[in-house]
Amino acid sequence: MHYVRTGPRSGCPALLLHSAGLDLTYWDAQFAALSTERDVIAVDLPGHGRSAGAAEDIEIGRIRSVVAAFIRDLDIGQVDLIGLSVGGLIAQAVAVEHSPLVRSLSLLDTAAKFSTSAQTAMHERADRVRDAGMVAILDELFEHWFLPTTRAARPDLIDRATKTLLHDDPSAHAALWDMIANFDAADRLAEIAVPTLVLVGEHDSSSPIASARMLHDGIARAELQVLPDAAHLAPIETPRTVNNHLRAFLGSRDLDGGR
């Protein structure tokens, strides 16, 4: 897996898992905010950025195992695992199946499972990508990802994300949406015993506040924060607010001493 690492090599590293279709470079604001105090690592998930991955590799069990092996290969012990959107799905799966590797979880704009209507929409999105390529879904993704005010004020951000998405392999991206639609960890949330921060954008239509509440209610040591003026990709849209929550959580005594 391609990765970038920065910050002091001491303490428990923070490992960042990005959202669907993007790559590790979209954590730039978190690198800047967190790396002055701690070891920070971000990876390109399989089939994204500079990490290899074909459609057949895009399966939650395989990606979970790849991430766990990555952590072990770095010989860094435990990590504070931070996942955005699909990165949050993977973070949940790692925390359940490879719990000794995880000291804490930060689950950003994500869910333990999706409604039937959302699953249908995701499978249809996958079919459109297979039939017509990445360009067929750009507008609908941006409508979920960013508020209208952000899209109007940040043409640079939309241009950047457009170029990243158009560079993706359509077959792998389609497989990703099928994987997301089929994800269901709701019955296993009680197995997550580590301190967990759940962050959700106030206007997140992909993983709404109800999804965040499910995570909060299912994980014994979870805390929930709703982020104003944010849609689905809050760390990109409102980085200062997200970073403040991450710094406060990662600096909590609860991560070392428990509650």
**Rounded average pLDDT per 10-residue block, the chain, 259 residues:** 94 96 98 94 95 94 97 94 98 98 98 97 98 97 97 97 97 98 98 98 97 98 97 98 97 58
pLDDT of residue 202: 98
What's the burial of 226, exposed, middle or buried (CB within 10 Å: 0-12/13-18/19+)? Answer: middle
On whether the CB atoms of residues 109 and 207 are closer than 8 A, the answer is yes
On whether the CB atoms of residues 83 and 197 are closer than 8 A, the answer is no
Nearest C-alpha neighbor of 167 from the set 134, 130, 131, 137:
134
What is d(CA 85, CA 79) in angstroms, rounded to the nearest whole number? 19
pLDDT of residue 258: 41
CATH number of the domain bearing residue 220? 3.40.50.1820
H or E, element range at 41 = strand 40-43
Q: Which residues contact 5 (CB under 8 A, 6 or more apart)?
A: 13, 39, 40, 41
Q: How many domains does the chain have?
A: 1
pLDDT of residue 4: 97
What is d(CA 57, CA 174) in angstroms, rounded to the nearest whole number? 12
pLDDT of residue 231: 98
Q: Which residues contact 57 (CB under 8 A, 6 or more apart)?
A: 46, 47, 63, 172
Amino acid at 241: T
Q: What share of the chain is helix, strand, coil (3-state, %, to 5)?
A: 55, 15, 30
pTM of the entire predicted model: 0.96
Range of the domain at 13: 3-257
